[in-house]
Structures are given as structure tokens and as C-alpha cells.
Amino acid sequence: MTKLDKLKQNGEKITCLTAYDASFSSLIDQAGIDILLVGDSLGMVVQGQNSTVPVTLDDMIYHCQLVARGKQKALLIADMPFMTYSTPEIAFETAARLMREGKAEMVKLEGAWAAETIEMLVERGIPVCGHLGLTPQSVYKLGGYRVQGRDEIEAQLLREEALLLQSAGASLIVLECVPGDLAAEITTSLRIPTIGIGAGKDCDGQVLVLYDMLGITIGKKPSFSKDFLQTTGSISTAIEAFIEAVKNGTFPGPEHTF
């Protein structure tokens, strides 16, 4: 049983923040975070792109290397960027490079269409995190950054997709921008942990984009996020406050939930 499974079993919330460089990685790791996610959100918050689509595998490997150098204990998960897992063969190469060169310990990919690829990666010893709900790499297909699963047809699809990813061998599922009640239902139906972002308090854990929780979002702040720096005064105490609020169940509150 992995540490994440144990946390779920014991009802202890799992904490996760994105990181893109060694200094933040070290600070967040020392604060006691469970997971560091090198998200392809770096395309938007670091590179200033208007979606995650332009992020390349070389970009991801570079930022993984920086984060890996800064951390000691946290689990390092890396996003597989757009179109780098479009077939199982391409996915094997991508995952191998993220793990070998980037020192990632788990890879994350978006969508239930990739279930077969997840199964094949897991069979080959690669731990995989799924990502359902709002999947930013499909933003042009989804027609924008919108809450997913609001009507019963979409909700049922999400329930089935989560079970499919679990059967495929995923270790973890990120649920992004999903109504809180639906995320709670999905979380209860699964053996593996869920990590929510804009998915309410009942997920097994929470992730935020680091820059959002430090109040340095470019443009409109996501309504599900919280600026922890505003009430704390230093970056390290803001990170500690996030971890504490997730662990004790006070974040996310109703005002951060769809």
C-alpha cells in the first residue's frame, strides 16, 4: 500500500501544490507537503501562454529537474504535456523521459480516453495519476474553462470515467472544476484517492496552482482558489497555512465550491 492509499484509508487529507523551480520546491517540501506537481499550468503562469497546449516535453523535463533538485520528501508528479501520450508508444517514451531525465516519480495525464494507455504504463511499472472534469489540454474542445458535470448526463459520465481510470490502474485522480456533491460521490466510490481543485472539500486531498494561492494570478483569480499570502505575510507561512487548512478541512470552504 502506498503512502497516498494510507492517507485515504486513515481519512487524512492529502496536500499538493504545483511547483516549477528549485527554490519553491524546497520551501514547499520543507513545509511538509505530500505532493509536488510540476503542472503544465507552467505554460500559463510561468510562460504567459493563454493555455497549456503550447507546453513541450522539453519544457516539462527542464522544470521537473529544477523541482527535483529542491525537494527531499514530497512525491514528485509531472504532467505529460499535450499530445505526448496520444498513443501508448508515444506515452512510454514521454513517461520514460520524465522519469529518467526529470526524476518524476509519477506521471499525470488528462482524460478517460487514455485509460488503455494508463493500463499499459502501469503494467510497465509507471505510476499514473489521472485527471478528469475540466481537462485544460482540451480547452478548445470544451469551449472554455467551465465547470464540468453539472447536468446528469455529464455527471454519470464522470462517475464512469473515474471507475474506468481506477480499473486501468491509476494511483490517483485529480478532479478539476466539478460540483462538490459529485466529487464527494466519486471520491466515496473509489478505492484510490482523489485530489480536488475546484471540486469541494470532500475529495481526499486538494491541489492549488502555487501562483494562485500566493495571489499572483495573471488576470482573473479562479473563484475556487484562495490567496493564502494575503492573511499570512510570508510565502512560507502562506504555504504552511494552505497545508494546515487542507489537513483540518477548512479549505476549500463553500465559497470555493461549485
Catalytic residues: 176
Is the Cβ of residue 39 or residue 111 nearer to ligand KIV in the bound state?
39
Residue type, 138: S
Of 24, 29, 34, 40, the residue at the interface with ligand KIV (CB under 6 A) is 40
| Contact assessment for residue 213 and residue 33, using Cβ atoms and an 8 Å cutoff | no
**Nearest-approach distance from CB 113 to ligand KIV, in angstroms:** 17
**Part of the chain binding ligand KIV (CB under 6 A), chosen from 37-45, 121-129, 161-169, 219-227:** 37-45
- Cα 199 from Cα 203, distance rounded (Å): 7
**Part of the chain binding ligand KIV (CB under 6 A), chosen from 2-10, 35-43, 152-160, 246-254:** 35-43
Task: Tell whether residue 212 is a contact of ligand KIV (CB under 6 A).
Answer: no
**Nearest-approach distance from CB 21 to ligand KIV, in angstroms:** 14
Residues 149-178 that bind ligand KIV (CB under 6 A): 174, 176
Task: Tell whether residue 39 is a contact of ligand KIV (CB under 6 A).
Answer: yes
Is the Cβ of residue 182 or residue 209 nearer to ligand KIV in the bound state?
209
- Cα 183 from Cα 201, distance rounded (Å): 9
| Contact assessment for residue 195 and residue 173, using Cβ atoms and an 8 Å cutoff | yes
Of 75, 197, 229, 245, the residue at the interface with ligand KIV (CB under 6 A) is 197
Task: Tell whether residue 94 is a contact of ligand KIV (CB under 6 A).
Answer: no
Residue 16 grid cell: 499538493
Q: Which residue is nearest to ligand KIV (CB)?
A: 39
**Nearest-approach distance from CB 41 to ligand KIV, in angstroms:** 3
Helix (H, G, I), strand (E, B) or coil at 125: coil
| Contact assessment for residue 195 and residue 175, using Cβ atoms and an 8 Å cutoff | yes
CA gyration radius, the chain: 17
Listed in order, strand segments (DSSP E) in 75-124 are: 75-79, 106-110
Task: Tell whether residue 204 is a contact of ligand KIV (CB under 6 A).
Answer: no
Residues 1-20 that bind ligand KIV (CB under 6 A): 18
- Cα 245 from Cα 239, distance rounded (Å): 10
Angstrom CA distances, 83 to 90, 109, 110, 162, 177, stand at: 9, 10, 10, 21, 22
| Contacting residues toward ligand KIV, per CB under 6 A | 18, 37, 39-41, 79, 174, 176, 197, 207, 209
